[in-house]
């Protein structure tokens, strides 16, 4: 997965129609004077109401909800990871010291564990940027792309978490002696 969110610089396609509409309104004002001002005002109000409606449809709300649910899947894995690393409970302590100590080692040479450490750090950065991205006025196609990326990241993180746990369990408590 790339580090950048799709459309990270915002949608530039939204600005071109507004520029064209603005130029047409200016031409109406210059050509028709007072009636042009009235027509330009009507066109401006209509454009703004259409823009506002376009970004608050039930479809966009549904997509944002789906993106947030996928982000929760990522957060669930992050929470499981933090529980593994820091929980004082006996089961978690035994898991990280006796069963899977290699999983807590960021310098472990196992490919599955290395991949998990890479994915979890990417997930932290991704979620840090996701809320800011969702605050912008996004069109449906941008939200669909963001949902696809979020779903892919959630699935990849879950798979690498499970693979890393299996690999760490295979390595066992004496993994340093085997390396």
CA 146/CA 10 separation, integer angstroms: 12
- Could you report the per-residue pLDDT of 50-102, keeping only the tens digit for each? 776 655 678 888 999 999 999 999 999 999 999 999 999 999 899 888 899 99
Structure tokens at 43: 């066109």
Q: Is pLDDT at 2 greater than 50 in this prediction? A: no
State the residue for tokens 């299996």. Answer: 166
Closest Cα to residue 100, out of 177, 178, 157, 165?
Answer: 165
DSSP collapsed to 3 states, 52-89: HHHCCCHHHHHHHHHHHHHHHHHHHHHHHHHHHHHCCC
CA 133/CA 150 separation, integer angstroms: 12
- Could you report the per-residue pLDDT of 128-143, keeping only the tens digit for each? 999 999 988 788 888 9
The residue extents of the domains of the chain are 1-54, 57-178
Q: Helices (H), strands (E): how many in the chain?
A: 7, 0
Q: Is pLDDT at 9 greater than 70 in this prediction? A: no
pLDDT of residue 108: 86
28 to each of 53, 88, 117, 145, how far by Cα in Å? 25, 72, 60, 38
Using a cut of 0.75, tell me whether the model's pTM lies above it: no
Q: Is pLDDT at 8 greater than 60 in this prediction? A: no
Q: Is pLDDT at 123 greater than 90 in this prediction? A: yes
| 134: exposed, middle or buried (Cβ count in 10 Å: 0-12, 13-18, 19+) | middle
Residues 6+ apart with CB under 8 A from 25: 39, 40, 43, 44
Closest Cα to residue 133, out of 119, 146, 118?
Answer: 146
Q: Assign 110 to helix, strand or coil.
A: coil
């Amino acid at each position: 997965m790339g580090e950048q969110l799709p459309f990270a610089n915002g949608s530039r396609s939204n600005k071109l129609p507004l520029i064209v509409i603005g130029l047409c309104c200016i031409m109406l004002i210059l050509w028709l004077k007072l009636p042009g001002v009235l027509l330009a005002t009507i066109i401006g109000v209509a454009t703004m109401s259409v823009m506002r409606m376009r970004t608050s449809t039930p479809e966009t709300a549904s997509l944002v909800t789906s993106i947030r649910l996928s982000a929760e899947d990522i957060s669930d894995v992050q929470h499981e990871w933090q529980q593994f690393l820091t929980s004082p409970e006996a089961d978690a302590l035994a898991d990280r010291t006796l069963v899977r100590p290699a999983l807590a080692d960021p310098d472990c040479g196992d490919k599955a564990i290395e991949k998990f450490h890479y994915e979890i750090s990417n997930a932290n950065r991704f979620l840090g940027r996701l809320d800011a991205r969702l605050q912008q006025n996004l069109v449906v196609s941008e939200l669909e792309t963001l949902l696809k990326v979020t779903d892919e990241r959630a699935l990849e993180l879950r798979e690498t978490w499970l693979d890393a746990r299996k690999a760490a369990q295979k390595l066992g408590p004496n993994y340093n002696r085997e390396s």
